[in-house]
Chains A and B, each alone.
Chain A
Amino acid sequence: MSRSGEVASLSPPMTRQGQFCGVFCPVDGAEGAGLGLDACRGRGRSSGGGTDDRLTETSQPTRKVQIRESRGKEALQNLDHRSDRLLIKGAKIVNDDQSFCADVYMEDGLIKQIGENLIVPGGVKTIDAHGRTLMPGGIDVHTRFQMPDRGMTSADDFYHGTKAALAGGTTMIIDHVVPEPGASLLSSFEQWREWADSKSCCDYSLHMDITEWHRGLQDEMETLVKDHGVNSFLVYLVYKDLFQLTDSQVYEVFSVIRDLGAVAQVHAENGDIVAEEQRRILSQGITGPEGHVLSRPEEVEAEAVNRSVTVANQTNCPLYVTKVMSKSAADVIAQARKRGTVVYGEPISASLGTDGSHYWSKNWAKAAAFVTSPPLSPDPTTPDYLNSLLSCGDLQVTGSAHCPFNTAQRAVGKDDFTLIPEGVNGTEERLALIWDKCVVTGKMDENQFVAVTSTNAAKIFNLYPRKGRVAVGSDADLVLWDPDLTHIISAKSHNSTVEYNIFEGTEVRGGPLVVISQGKIVLEEGTLHVTEGTGRYIPRKPFPDYVYKRIKARSRLAELRGVPRGLYDGPVCDVTVTPKVMTPVSSTKTSPAKQANQANQPSRNLHQSGFSLSGAQVDDNIPRRNTSRVVAPPGGRANITTLG
């Protein structure tokens, strides 16, 4: 089991003296923080938690053990107690805030010690990093493994998907639960848990998509947040008549999300316009994949981003825009951030690594492989632009939206691009792509790289510092990164099951040398040792500090007051009651902003009575007036009818 020698031989050792001063101070601090770390974790996790304790988190611990026994190498790792103990020597630890050289000792899937000359038990497996970069494992915030679509299922299930993720240096994924409209959120959630628990090779968590909206869903959302560790919900502004919500519904969902302390995610495209454009494009006889991008111009994406930012601002709800695919959408997010909106943007591997010119490929299957929504921008300068915004912090996290379909599945839409199942690959390529396009080119440094691939995601979804940081007490999800590695992405060698890779032929510099997930080595010398079903569900608590500190402060400030005025005692024009049917209130079931001061609420429902308020009832208001407004102003009751 000693492969460290080979690893060590790959590059000359790096001197550590230069980074000595101050380098270990935060490490000591991190050690102290490790105690509090368990408190930050998901529900029901005790501080002394070892492997066994964790396994109870997952739904089927027994099955896992069976699987492990059934496989040769993995079984060995599990049988051998020392295999859970791992020491990485001489690594340059890169967090999002700083880099320093230290050794890392891991046990039971947790980082136990960081520092020099660590005292470790004997028989520990040791990797000599020789000064290579050791980073927190990547977190892919957006995957759609095993996603059902019209009776089909996306080609990569949780096993193949997480395997590909690990191969690329990603040690945690957050998948989307897509309930059928009309289905229960909870049962869909359980369904996804079951799929993932039985197949996932790395830790995972789940976002919940809100595919329809009615009042009853609010309770389910609350249950998910409080009992199931879901703290993010996605709404769709697109897929008209299927998933799409109206602005009013989005407003209500966001209000509920804000109250629950979750993060509102949005798939931002204007579904109404897309539907009209699709009709127009089809009527022009364009049925190939190029119709997909023609019917979804990037403006339509930017418009929806702008709209969701507006709704989020109104509801004081943190917003997370998934799949930022175009320059203009990214610009809208950047501008909103400058204005102070709490909004996060997630470009995906596809938008960072390739462009939409391939939709015009003569090879139908190749063109169809690029179909995703929002589409890749035909503007070839888009990836570069998004990488720049990612580097400067205007975009914060990266996902992959990994949801590939194989060619036979895509061919469902061979005569009508609107039927092509949507989704591209990218979970495996994500880290290397960003490293190649951003770090190698000097757009960002290694710390920012860690931030956008891992740390920011952990912070937004309240996994930090358990995930997204190399620190004592954090999970032992690490990547030993080799910046000198180069390889050419190809469908022949990738771990996904689909025939096409949208990054086909792209040469990327940088790649994971060793990947450690849950304290075990899963990638070494390009060899994957993954075990189906070892992935644990990681519950996430609501009210992530990174997001909600500002939101909370704002909600305190945002109290509105009426103006105390004298009673209007002038003439009132007679109105006919019939014509204005205009209902200013969206619906009776709605108005989620009920948290607003109930005490101050007048006993009489004013907006209900507003309609019956005709001249005949002018004096109705006098006895029932809200007390605060009847108070005479200091200068005596104002005579309202005076002019001036």
Chain B
Amino acid sequence: MAERRENRDIADEHDLPVYLARPGTADQVPRQKYGGLFSSVRDAFDGKSIDFDALSVGQSTPRSARRETGRGARSPASDSCWSSPGVERRAERVAVEKRAERSLEAALERSMETRSRRDKETLQYLEQTSERLLIKGGRIVNDDQSFHADIYMEDGHIKQIGDNLIVPGGVKTVEANGKMVIPGGIDIHTHLQMPYRGTATVDDFGQGTKAALAGGTTMIVDHVIPEPGCSLVEAFDQWRQWADDKSCCDYSLHVDITHWNDSVQQEVDALIKEKGVNSFQVYMAYKDYYQMTNSELYEVFTFLAERGGIAQVHAENGEIIAEEQARMLQMGITGPEGHVLSRPEELEAEAVFRAVTIASQTNCPLYVTRVMSKSAADIISLARKKGNVVFGEPIAASLGTDGTHYWSKNWAKAASFVTSPPLSPDPTTPDYLHTLLSSGDLSVTGSAHCTFSVAQKAIGKDDFTQIPEGVNGVEERMALIWDKAVTTGKMDENMFVAVTSTNAAKILNLYPRKGRIAVGSDADLVIWDTDAVRTVTAKTHNSAAEYNIFEGLELRGAPQVVVCQGKIVLEDGNLHTSSGVGRFIPCSPYPDFAYKRIKARKQLAVLKAVPRGMYDGPVSEYSLSRGGTPSASARSSPTKQPVRNLHHSGFTLSGPSIPEDLPIRPAGRRITVPPGGRSNITSLS
């Protein structure tokens, strides 16, 4: 465990100012007793700092260094509500202890009261006080409830929540004035700095996370896309490097499985166990490139279900798309409208249905990325009603705009909307998706932020199939959902937090470190101004792309202050981000949110054979030239000749264990031995 940290982490450390680089590096050994899966939640309500590193499987992150503060304050017995008087008492004690510990520091801090707003960012990095932050008078909104309390943060963690907190002097205080304080958004789907045919998306990890922070998103989860045939681990390391260099906020990574064989399987295993990846995406589209067959999907899902991973799918029927694309081109349709015409929403719905079926067969939790159409959303919602463990992710684009722009006369504008699955030309789609998001049928929101410049999009100016796919949305996501769902009364603020942050954290097994305002959680917060009105435009957005697909949209609600890793990164409309401070957050497998049900079902899904007497009647001659079902018979036909063999004993062995409670068997009475003894099979009844 001592080698958990990779070299690059250390290298990154050198990039940081020396005083930021892990004050307590010596204290590295995580406590083993909190390795259990469920301890995280219990601790969250403990009013204590949580030792997240004990939970993480993979390498540690710089945050592990700051554990020394909360340690002394841990008390084993505690209730689970911070609004109770006990919490305040405890908080007081924490503060006292902390003061004792850090008397020297506190003395230093007291001398630094004057700070100029102008060069605040510089000061933040020069002074240790900047690590301490108090938000006063905010209304804390979690996914389950809202309440008024102050929040005290230190070292990037939330240390205290409550009224009249006793905090060290010299703490920077933000007056929230009753505004909402919500957990920072988690954008569960981005493609920053994605390579594409020798170029890369215009928003790299620096630019992209900056845009994310500007929109109130304090964590992104990017997709690692290995070229088919390349190593997953290498690709993962490459992405880690890019992101560690540039990311301004915490990030995590999904890994896309673009091909499947035994070595990939081992790599997936390694990624889960050692690298902190718990979600893998497979493609049902992009024929002859990323696309997987149903059998491969089955195998991938089976494997992920065993290892506690989440199976994500890009759901579109690639085979039909290929046919339709050929047809469109043949008809002379080469513009971006061909993109949506060749990918009708039915194909998306079909693939979702298929993915749900396979996931259900393999008992694997399914996560459908980019729900773009009503019919796909309907399938997900139906599947959830039937009890399948499936999560749907609409993205900012599908929630905020529609596909009518594909017919724009302006080629560059039309091309900027090209993404897969395409935006639905049905203008009522966004509203519908918001409704399902509000009702809980869709669970999380991402942005699928993957922007290309007009020049890059123009690769496909004569053939829509060549247009690089991707739209913006990481910056607009939170405000869009607030405007379209909360101000219209579809969902309340708690649900808003759930779909923008908490559910994502739960699926990734980062909860409650992320996605909740609680003592011990990361200090990723947003003070949300419900009254602000902004107009989205490419002129002011933080993305590097020339077009914004939400151009001209007026949105109510915006982040007023964004706190990331305990530091203010957005205030008064000014962004103070610094590249490279973002940490990789490892995700552990078997997220409770998805796997509690899966585990229970796995226990039930044991199949038993029917114990029967041996068939001793005549057997017809048949030719093996044509196997009835060759895939199975070829490799697994248990007997080649009608001689009694051991395989029969499989039945007789299971004879004694005729438990009545076999779940699959429809009726117990058929199992029991009939009164006249075991029936002779050849007799005609």
> Interface centre among B332, B622, B626, B638, by most A CB within 10 Å?
B332
Closest residue of A by beta carbon distance from B375: A339
Q: Residue B651 at the A interface, CB < 8 A?
A: yes
Given A408-B619, A411-B617, A562-B335: A362 in contact with B324 (beta carbons within 8 A): no
Q: List, in ascending order, chain B residues with CB within 8 A of A380's CB.
A: 666
Tell me, yes or no, whether B629 is within 8 Å of chain A by CB.
yes
A303 and B612 within 8 A (CB): no
Inter-chain contacts of B636 with A (CB < 8 A): 278-279, 282-283, 416, 418
Does any Cβ of A come within 8 Å of B264's Cβ?
no
Q: How far is the CA of A610 from the CA of B461 in the complex (A)?
A: 10
Could you give, for residues 583-613 of chain B, a 1 whenever the CB lies within 8 Å of some chain A CB and a 0 otherwise?
A: 0000000000000000000000001111111
A residues 594-611 with Cβ under 8 Å of B? 594, 596-597, 600-602, 606-607, 609-610
Asked if B454 and A151 sit within 8 Å, CB to CB, the answer is: no
Smallest beta-carbon distance A539→chain B, Å: 30
Judging by beta carbons under 8 Å apart, are B639 and A416 in contact?
yes
CB of A557 within 8 Å of the partner chain: no
Contact indicator B322/A585 (Cβ below 8 Å): yes
B607 touches A284 (CB 8 A): yes
A256 to chain B, nearest CB (A): 12
Q: How far is the CB of B646 from chain A (nearest CB, A)?
A: 11
**Interface residues as binary, B669-685 with A (CB distance below 8 Å gives 1, 0 otherwise):** 01101100011011111
B325 touches A584 (CB 8 A): yes
Interface size on B, residues (CB 8 A): 121
* Nearest chain B residue, comparing its CB with the CB of A626: B332
Q: Distance (Å) between the CB of A561 and the closest chain B CB?
A: 7
Partner of B287, one of A299, A584, A640: A584
Q: Beta-carbon contacts of B447-484 to A below 8 Å, as 1s and 0s?
A: 00000011110110111011000000000000000000
Chain A residues in 8 Å Cβ range of B349: 310
In the complex, A46 has a CB within 8 A of chain B: no
When C-beta atoms are compared, the residue in chain B nearest to A413 turns out to be B628
Chain A 632-643: CB-based contact to B (< 8 A → 1; otherwise 0)? 010000101111
CB distance from B292 to the nearest CB of A (A): 10
CA distance A568 to B457 in the complex (A): 11
* C-alpha gap A313/B348 in the complex (Å): 13
Q: Report yes or no: B322 in contact with A242, Cβ–Cβ below 8 A.
A: no
- Please tell me if A500 contacts chain B, counting CB pairs below 8 Å: yes
Task: Of the listed stretches B62-70, B406-414, B438-446, B507-515, name the one at the interface; the rest are far from the partner chain.
Answer: B406-414
Given the complex, which residues of A lie within 8 Å of B683, measured CB to CB? 363
Residues of B within 8 A of A14 (CB): none
Are the C-beta atoms of A407 and B317 separated by less than 8 Å? no
Asked if B174 lies at the interface with its beta carbon under 8 angstroms from chain A, I say no
**Cα separation A286 to B413 with both chains bound (whole Å):** 59
Q: Which residues of B contact A415 (CB under 8 A)?
A: 637-639, 642, 645, 647-648
B390 CB to closest chain A CB (Å) equals 13
- The answer to whether A500 and B684 touch (CB under 8 A), given A150-B623, A601-B331, is yes
Q: Which residues of chain A come closer than 8 Å to B288, judged between CB atoms?
A: 581-583
Known: A572-B458, A644-B551. A418 touches B654 (CB 8 A): no
Q: Does A337 contact B (CB under 8 A)?
A: no
B interface footprint on A567-590 (CB within 8 Å = 1, 0 otherwise): 010111111100111111110001
Q: Are B546 and A314 neighbours in the complex by a CB distance under 8 Å?
A: no
- Tell me whether B238 is interfacial, beta carbon within 8 Å: no
Among A4-12, A57-65, A246-254, the stretch that binds chain B is A246-254
Report the Cα distance A520→B93, complex, angstroms.
102
**Contact A568-B620, Cβ < 8 Å, known A282-B638, A411-B615, A638-B409:** no
CA distance A241 to B461 in the complex (A): 40
* CB <8 Å contact, B332 and A628: yes
Within 8 Å CB of B293, what residues of A? 272
Task: Give min CB distance, A267 to chain B, whole Å.
Answer: 13
Question: Range of interface residues on chain A?
Answer: 35 or more
A294: contacting residue among B327, B607, B642, CB under 8 A: B607
A419 touches B333 (CB 8 A): no
Please pick, from B330, B335, B344, the residue contacting A593 in the complex, using a CB distance under 8 A: B330
Q: Counting CB contacts under 8 A, is B487 at the interface?
A: no
Contact A572 B455 (CB under 8 A): yes
Q: Which of B333, B629, B647 has the most CB of A within 10 A?
A: B629
Judging by beta carbons under 8 Å apart, are B666 and A411 in contact? no
Contact B227–A151 (Cβ < 8 Å)? no
Could you tell me the distance between the alpha carbons of A541 and B424 in the complex, rounded to whole angstroms?
39
| Cα separation A270 to B665 with both chains bound (whole Å) | 23
The A contact surface, by secondary structure, is loop
Contacts of A626 in B (CB 8 A): 332, 334
Please measure, in the bound complex, the distance between the C-alpha atom of A274 and the C-alpha atom of B329, giving whole angstroms: 36
Task: Give B309 Cβ to nearest chain A Cβ, in Å.
Answer: 18
**Bound CA–CA A458/B616 (angstroms):** 45
Q: Do residues B317 and A307 form an inter-chain contact, with CB atoms below 8 A?
A: yes
**Stretch from B35-43, B101-109, B352-360 forming part of the interface with A:** B352-360
Task: Determine if B621 is an interface residue (Cβ-Cβ < 8 Å).
Answer: yes
Give the CA-CA distance A246 to B674 in the complex, in Å. 46
Q: For residue A300, which residues in chain B have a CB less than 8 angstroms away from its CB?
A: 357, 361
Instruction: Check A33 for interface membership: any CB of B closer than 8 A.
Output: no
Tell me if A591 and B330 are in contact (CB < 8 A).
Answer: yes
> When the two chains form their complex, are residues A313 and B346 in contact, meaning their CB atoms are under 8 A apart?
yes
- In the assembled complex, B625 has its CB within 8 A of some CB on chain A: yes
Q: Which of B81-95 contact A (CB under 8 A)?
A: none
Find B631's partner among A240, A607, A628 (CB 8 Å cutoff).
Answer: A240
Q: Smallest CB-CB separation from B654: which chain A residue?
A: A285
Q: Which of A152-206 contact B (CB under 8 A)?
A: 152, 180
Nearest residue (CB) in B for A359 is B610
Residues of B within 8 A of A574 (CB): 198-199
- With a cutoff of 8 Å between Cβ atoms, the chain A residues found around residue B400 in the complex are none
Are B332 and A276 interface neighbours, CB within 8 A? no
Contacts of B610 in A (CB 8 A): 288, 290, 360-362, 367
Q: Is B633 an interface residue (CB 8 A)?
A: yes
In the complex, the chain A residue whose C-beta lies closest to that of B671 is: A360
How far, in whole Å, are A241 and B628 apart by their CA atoms in the complex? 10
Give the residue of B289, B323, B623 whose beta carbon is less than 8 angstroms from that of A248.
Answer: B323
When the two chains form their complex, are residues A151 and B621 in contact, meaning their CB atoms are under 8 A apart? yes
Contacting B at CB under 8 A, from A304-337, are 306-307, 310-311, 313-314
- In the bound assembly, the distance between CA atoms of A570 and B289 in angstroms comes to 29
A265-281 interface code vs B (CB 8 A; 1 in, 0 out): 00000101111111101
A602 to B332, Cβ gap below 8 A? yes
Most buried by A among B287, B298, B628: B628
Q: Tell me if A39 is interfacial: C-beta within 8 Å of chain B.
A: no
Interface 1/0 per residue, A332-371 and B, CB below 8 Å:
0000000000000000000000001100111111110000
* CB-based contact B322/A586 at 8 Å: yes
Asked whether any CB of chain A lies closer than 8 Å to the CB of B547, the reply is yes
A240 → chain B, closest Cβ, in Å? 5
Chain A, residue nearest B333 (CB): A562
The contact of A575 among B197, B286, B299, B625, by CB within 8 Å, is: B197
Min CB distance A502 to B, Å, is 12
State how many angstroms separate the Cβ of B324 from the closest Cβ of chain A.
7
- State how many angstroms separate the Cβ of B53 from the closest Cβ of chain A: 38
Interface string of A600-626 (1 = CB under 8 A from B): 111000110110010000000100001
The answer to whether B227 touches A408, judged by C-beta atoms less than 8 angstroms apart, is no
Do B331 and A560 touch across chains, with their CB atoms under 8 A apart? Answer: yes
Given contacts A363-B681, A582-B289, contact A563 B456 (CB under 8 A): no
Chain B residue nearest in CB terms to A422: B628
On chain B, the residues within 8 Å of A644 by CB distance are 410, 413, 551
Besides A411-B619, A415-B637, 9 more A-B contacts (Cβ < 8 Å) are A150-B626, A248-B319, A299-B360, A415-B647, A562-B337, A568-B412, A574-B199, A586-B287, A593-B330
The 9 closest A-B pairs by CB, nearest first: A272-B294, A576-B198, A582-B289, A151-B623, A247-B319, A275-B631, A303-B357, A310-B350, A278-B632
27 A-B residue pairs with Cβ-Cβ distance under 8 Å, sorted by A, are A241-B631, A242-B630, A248-B322, A279-B635, A290-B609, A307-B353, A310-B346, A310-B350, A362-B613, A363-B681, A378-B664, A405-B620, A419-B629, A565-B411, A568-B458, A568-B461, A570-B455, A572-B461, A573-B455, A582-B290, A584-B325, A586-B322, A593-B323, A601-B331, A621-B462, A628-B332, A644-B410
